[in-house]
Structure 1
């Protein structure tokens, strides 16, 4: 059982008190090599006019938010889904539907903002309009609450993890922000929030944090939206010998889903045997283009490093919907090297070798970083074959 969570008006996720979400499957809903997803989405606009809380958005506006100005999926949230997933996560534009639902007022819904009651209100009327079979034909459901309820609902977005339902405020940080919609949608598929500096949600490099950007490398790997560089899926003590270096060529994550990240398994550390302390590292190049067009300068045009709980990362079947605590911890500019003493690892940002393709080097040491080659020496080497 996993807790649901909601984003408050400041963008902070909080658990829903007393609520639990049942795990729906023993396998991830999205993993590497899965088929392309075409989500059949029903968006329900709640209208509580009976208690002076009418819907504050119309169906045309909502369709534009999700499908773009042409309302054909070439813009809006649908376009972001395609860009971030490289075509693996889509909205079925033919099946997509928006419906306005007028419901009776209850204290649970309009005063307590009970998400379960809001969904129940929307479902009951929608089934009457669409029929039981028509309603069941959708794979996922979005509930948009009236703007007048904003001061009663302490969240901008809410989602089951995992599940099929999300809830959104009729606000700037709610349904009007594509990254909020993406975050809630990806909660449905098992992703948790991303961390930075010891704080949940503070990673601005991803929509799973506070960023207006695509998921980071660790998240892309989980979703099956990216593959590791050749030889880069498990860089451990057998692969990375002390004092030597490995060289890779990484395309920016926006550029290609193929071979765009490295996964380091630092099992050379004594602490790696401790299940609570062991971490794996994900390394990828981020550039502010395409779905990452709004990526801020802290991360953009740099090598981004994230760490995750190694025990969970190494056994995804067991910890399928557990929080790996994906955490951003450094960004390296090209033509620079950084010594991560805690990992006895040096990561080098090399030179650009093509359009947004960066040469990357790794070296681990036993006692001193002086055991590793210089950046200049590594830049002269050929790529790992």
Structure 2
């Protein structure tokens, strides 16, 4: 009987070992399969691009060498934790989406290989060669056809007497012009990404189609590229204009708020030069005196200076604006001349913790590029604030150009935050006299200074 008992004990033991081995094999296969499903991080190096889509921020990396565009989940941070500025050359790790390998679901270990230089001032005599691609979609198995804008209408929007070319020429005082604007029709087979308003897919497919149709030499003869979207994509896009912040590409919807709106087109064009949106009362876009907000007029004084299109009449600080002393200036309207058309104030007399912004004063009047300036700014001195850390060094980033207010002719305005009193004279043609005084504690210090000056003036007359 013993052999039987021995056989009964051995068989179950062998079965348990077999089951364990099978389980280990199965677990190994599962781990192997799951590891293949988990996307591996890839190291990328390229130029960091930023687009403000008005309802969201779009960050992409254009890979060096290949030109492949990777979408990022947000702005990369470098190893100390600082945001990497747009247009920098950066190396980072990307965890790709398994279904869309050029979409990074996570980024890490970002290191700047070449930091972007301070904002490039446009300077003089810049000629832009612009290719405008009016996009339409052909029906496919993925989605239906979508018509594009009329090519002749788009061309006229740029080249007409009061078109976009004229607007840019006037606002830049002739320093930046379009030397060539070509508008072509570009028909693309509809894909899911195109129909979802993936701007990079639209750009890539449009440029590929244009290259196939006209040749590489034709494409390389242009320095700027614009894409006019098909009709019916506004809800998918969520914007009427889009641009690379410091780049060469812009996108527009085919309507009166998009490519046929001169304010929209100028705003996106200036984004390509590194200019950010304008602010007012803590709200983005709400400065109606400039195309960088919601206006159809030229850039404001600080924007003009940042672009290199205009220069200050005076630059005031602690050394050039003594207390209890009025400085007198005659400001021309900004549309008249680019030279000496603003007053820049660096209030470094404030306590260090309070000196965070610079001020700009400029006379705005309807005329030239400002023919469509709103009445609320016409014939008045506009006051803007800007971040002094960026403004003083022309550094990269958003200087937060913000409209503080306006001064009517023949008006006295106290600005307690900066310990300033500003007195405006009457309009004389397209000029206005502005007197500026700073005080230590109270505005009456400037009132007394003005009385002393008037008494002295009367004695001289007598």
Matches within 5 A, 1:288-327: 288-316=366-394, 319-320=395-396, 322-327=397-402
1:4/1:19 contact within 8 Å kept: no
Identify the residue that residue 418 of structure 2 maps to in structure 1: 343
1:101 to 2:179 alignment: no
Distance 1:113 1:375, change over 3 A: farther
1:350/1:375 contact within 8 Å kept: no
Structure 1 residue 207: deviation in Å? 0.1
Q: Deviations over 1:147-197 (max 9, x none)?
A: 122222111000000100000001111011000000000000000000001
Structure 1 residue 23: deviation in Å? 4.0
Structure 1 residue 79: deviation in Å? 0.7
Structure 1 residue 30: deviation in Å? 2.9
Distance 1:23 1:293 in 2: 37
**Aligned counterpart for 1:61 among listed residues 139, 145, 153:** 153
1:150/1:169 contact within 8 Å kept: yes
Distance 1:23 1:352, change over 3 A: same
2:347/2:355 contact within 8 Å kept: no
Identify the residue that residue 81 of structure 2 maps to in structure 1: none
Structure 1 residue 370: deviation in Å? 0.9
**Aligned counterpart for 1:118 among listed residues 202, 213, 216:** 202
Structure 1 residue 315: deviation in Å? 1.2
Distance 2:291 2:56 in 1: 16
Identify the residue that residue 324 of structure 2 maps to in structure 1: 243
Distance 1:200 1:249, change over 3 A: same
Distance 1:124 1:185 in 2: 23
Structure 2 residues without counterparts, runs of 5 or longer = 1-47, 60-72, 76-85, 90-115, 458-462
1:23/1:162 contact within 8 Å kept: no
More helix by share: 2
1:218/1:306 contact within 8 Å kept: yes
1:267 to 2:341 alignment: no
**Aligned counterpart for 1:371 among listed residues 423, 445, 449:** 445
Distance 2:409 2:145 in 1: 53
Structure 1 residue 35: deviation in Å? 2.7
Question: Which segment is superposed worse, 278-287 or 290-299?
Answer: 290-299
Structure 1 residue 349: deviation in Å? 1.3
1:89 to 2:176 alignment: yes
Identify the residue that residue 233 of structure 2 maps to in structure 1: 149
Structure 1 residue 359: deviation in Å? 0.7
1:129 to 2:230 alignment: no
Structure 1 residue 2: deviation in Å? 5.7
Question: Matched residue pairs, number?
Answer: 355
Structure 1 residue 19: deviation in Å? 6.2
Distance 1:376 1:150 in 2: 62
Identify the residue that residue 295 of structure 2 maps to in structure 1: 211
Q: What SS does the corresponding residue of 2:165 show, helix, strand or coil?
A: helix
2:412/2:423 contact within 8 Å kept: yes
1:53/1:149 contact within 8 Å kept: no
Distance 1:308 1:27, change over 3 A: closer
Q: Deviations over 1:328-349 (max 9, x none)?
A: 0110011111000010011111
2:326/2:450 contact within 8 Å kept: no
Rg larger for: 2
Identify the residue that residue 44 of structure 1 maps to in structure 2: 133
Q: Deviations over 1:356-381 (max 9, x none)?
A: 11111110000111111449957x98
Identify the residue that residue 15 of structure 1 maps to in structure 2: 57
1:3 to 2:39 alignment: no
Identify the residue that residue 71 of structure 1 maps to in structure 2: none
Distance 1:39 1:30 in 2: 15
Q: Deviations over 1:286-311 (max 9, x none)?
A: 01222212222222110000000001
**Aligned counterpart for 2:405 among listed residues 330, 351, 356:** 330
CA RMSD of aligned residues (A): 2.0
Distance 1:2 1:166 in 2: 13
Identify the residue that residue 164 of structure 2 maps to in structure 1: 77
Q: What SS does the corresponding residue of 1:4 show, helix, strand or coil?
A: strand
Distance 2:145 2:340 in 1: 50
Structure 1 residues without counterparts, runs of 5 or longer = 8-12, 69-73
Output the TM-score relative to the length of structure 2: 0.73
Output the TM-score relative to the length of structure 1: 0.87
More strand by share: 2
2:135/2:148 contact within 8 Å kept: no
Distance 1:29 1:182 in 2: 18
